[in-house]
Chain A
Amino acid sequence: MAETDGPAISLRGLVRRYGDRVALDGVDLDLPEGQTLAVLGPNGSGKSTLLRVLATLLRPSGGEASVLGARLPGEAWQVRGRVGYLGHQPLLYRDLTGRENLVLQARLNGLDREEAAESIERDLELVGMSSRADEAVGGYSAGMRQRISICRAVLTRPPLLLLDEPDSNLDPEGRVAVRDLVGPASGRTRVLVSHEPERALAEADLFLRLGPSGKVEEVGTP
């Protein structure tokens, strides 16, 4: 069933500033449901900022933004819990185990405990972390943290995934293991930030290339 009547993401003249510095400068975009957008650009071009705005972690400084039919920032509360966000930071507590982190996140999202426990077990199995899930996250390698972080991002089975370098720190086995959850086969609308254009474009229906000053240089189909 469609989540919204219009596109999953609609941006008109989106601006985000940090003090005097403009990170995103007038971004226009429509991303239909079920499609994958690859966001490309050099370091500092605003790719991660764009993802954080879409995830409601940053407020737009100007322009209009609509995510899953909710206008930002006023209706941000309608988006929360419906977006899977994977950023540079794993967003995991180091002193809790991988499983405890996921259970905490499930309870903060108001998920049914039994259903969440089953779904957590399934996801841990998929990403190959079942046997290590009861160890403290502080003892994990970066790749293990990334796997648990991916489980966190898909915990609510969100219709929209915002993925910032989802393959980072993953070995080839790990990249294969997470594909069912966050790859094209997941069937979700996806925004994919990557420094590897070939890989991102191979999975994308649309691409957005940002320039060094946060302006859109190119939008199109690969």
Chain B
Amino acid sequence: MSVGQAFDAWKALVGRDLLTEARTMRSLPAMVLFAVTTFVIFRYGLDRTQLSGSLAGGVLWTTLLFAAVLGINRLFVSEREEGGFDAFRLTPAPANVLLAAKVTSLFVYLVVLELIVVPIFALFFLPEFSSLLPLVAVLLLANLGFSLLGTVVSSMAVNSTARDLIVPLLLLPLVVPLMIAVTGASAPLFGPEGPGYERFGEWLMVAALYDGVFLLVGYAVFEFLLED
């Protein structure tokens, strides 16, 4: 299969995922509802109308992580239940085309989720919105990490009847370094006096390194995970 054909196969798989989600709304509404409800709980649980620093970062990233888990749990369900794995393995498309497609689909889900819930987070907890622009870089690196790790973990868990348990059990310990990095990068952005950039670049580098490691891990193991 040529590079052009592999690229077209990737586009076809991403298109299928997004079309199916647009038709069925099985993942995104649940992720959004979960995130918004969690913000409401934090707002009344902490009894605070404004958050700053690492507390604001912690609330944002904890919520996004658990909302992402909902999408990750369902990422390969149709492949498993409707024979999509077998249908894919009967074709000459390399396994990593499916990896790339699922990473892309999950990344898109997370971007859509954040487009909806991050402004709600800002309305609930931030005194002003100037931190949102630099936050985009942190969100993109976090999304890539969640997508890469989530796709690998989801493909490992999907054949188990305890899928809903296995995904968080495997994912949460592995995602700790990324969570430390993105919380570290976003904490100064949520400073009480407006966004600061103390060690911002360093934490972004750590997040990018994490993404790079899981890109290599995914590339190395995904074919093995897909095969019998």
Contact = CB atoms under 8 A, between A and B. Distances in A.
Contacts of B78: 93-95
B90 interface: yes
A161 interface: no
A131 interface: no
Contacts of A56: 89-90
Interface in A89-128: 89-96, 100, 103-105, 107-110
B92 interface: yes
A38 interface: no
B24 interface: yes
Given A110-B1, A110-B5, A58 B228 contact: yes
A83 B82 contact: no
A142 interface: no
B208 interface: no
Interface string B8-27: 11011100100110011000
Nearest to B26: A95
Nearest to B2: A110
A82 to B, nearest CB: 8
A59 B1 contact: no
B84 interface: yes
Contacts of B19: 96, 100
Q: Classify chain A's interface size.
A: 20 to 34
A105 B87 contact: yes
Nearest to B79: A93
B84 A87 contact: no
Contacts of B93: 108-110
Interface string B135-152: 000000000000000000
A49 to B, nearest CB: 11
Interface class of chain B by DSSP: helix
Given A58-B228, A105-B87, A94 B92 contact: no
A192 interface: no
B90 A57 contact: yes
Contacts of A96: 16, 19-20
B82 A80 contact: no
A214 interface: no
B92 A91 contact: no
B91 interface: yes
Contact of B23 (A95, A109, A110): A95
A55 interface: yes
A55 B16 CA distance: 24
A152 B1 CA distance: 19
B23 A108 contact: no
Interface string B54-69: 0000000000000000
A110 B19 CA distance: 21
B86 A87 contact: yes
B228 A83 contact: no
Contacts of B11: 107
A122 B82 CA distance: 25
Interface string A13-39: 000000000000000000000000000
A81 interface: yes
Contact of B12 (A87, A91, A92, A107): A107
Contacts of A95: 20, 23-24, 78
A206 to B, nearest CB: 24
Interface string B81-117: 0111011111111000000000000000000000000
A85 interface: yes
Given A87-B83, A91-B86, A110-B8, 7 more contacts: A57-B228, A80-B92, A100-B16, A107-B9, A108-B9, A108-B91, A108-B93
9 smallest CB-CB distances across A and B, nearest first, come from A110-B5, A107-B12, A91-B83, A81-B92, A91-B87, A108-B91, A89-B83, A80-B92, A95-B20
18 contacts: A80-B90, A80-B92, A83-B90, A87-B86, A89-B82, A91-B87, A93-B84, A94-B78, A95-B20, A96-B16, A96-B20, A100-B16, A103-B12, A105-B87, A107-B8, A108-B91, A109-B91, A109-B93
